[in-house]
Amino acid sequence: MTQITWPDQFWKDMVPSCSADTEALRKARNSALTEILEAGAGRPIVAVSGSGAPDSHAKEAQFIGGLIAKLGLNLINGGIDGVMFDVTEGFLAAAAKLPGGSSPGTAIRVIPADPKRVAKAKQLSESLTGARCIFTELESRSQLGPDSRNHVLIAAADVVICLPGQEGSKSEARLAKQVYHKPVIAYGTKARGEDDWIQAIAGYQIGRTENPETWLRQVLRLGPS
């Protein structure tokens, strides 16, 4: 089983109100992490965070998903609505159009195993044929605490792209920058009025890019297009 040093001190110092870590939570995190890395088959993994609101930043999300597929990388996200659906849809559409001989990565969706969200994920899966679903007992109730699947998403990723979102998205950005020290960039426009997101990104000292392909090629050393 894949092991990682989870941020116990972070939970004690920065999230004092969160639930205590337990052996069951550690087992759930390690199990999900192992499944993700096995699904990734050794290719770099790009985590994409963003709003869960339906049709939120759909154009940007589909573009990012398509880019990840064209570069032969794996995609990982939280797996339900909004950016998570759209980025997966963009990935799968682009993967289906790759020329013969090209080998796309895998779109990986990490989904809480409670019945309502499992049912929702399976309903959405009818439009996302080919994506890999990983179900976990981690619920993300505290966003940053030891019961949050956000830790697994970021720990498994090689790089992180942040689209505008709410508390879950901001927590993933914070984890990427301050806890797991992953290369992370923000992508999106100020014109959409995401003031809280913009303020959070600035506070975490995360830069913004209008050219995510160049950034991905540089940080993952993929070479020029």
Q: Would you kindly state where each structural domain of the chain is located, as residue ranges?
A: 21-219
DSSP 8-state assignment for residue 208: B
The mean per-residue pLDDT over the stretch 77-95 comes to 91
Could you tell me the pLDDT band of residue 1, with boundaries at 50, 70 and 90?
A: very low
CATH topology of domain 21-219: Rossmann fold (3.40.50)
The mean per-residue pLDDT over the stretch 35-60 comes to 91
Predicted TM-score (pTM) above 0.85: yes
Could you tell me the pLDDT band of residue 158, with boundaries at 50, 70 and 90?
A: very high
Handedness of CA 71, 77, 80, 86 (dihedral sign): negative
Could you tell me the pLDDT band of residue 140, with boundaries at 50, 70 and 90?
A: low
Q: In 3-state terms, what secondary structure has residue 135?
A: strand
Backbone torsion region of residue 53, taken as left when φ is above 0, otherwise alpha when ψ lies between -120 and 50, otherwise beta:
beta
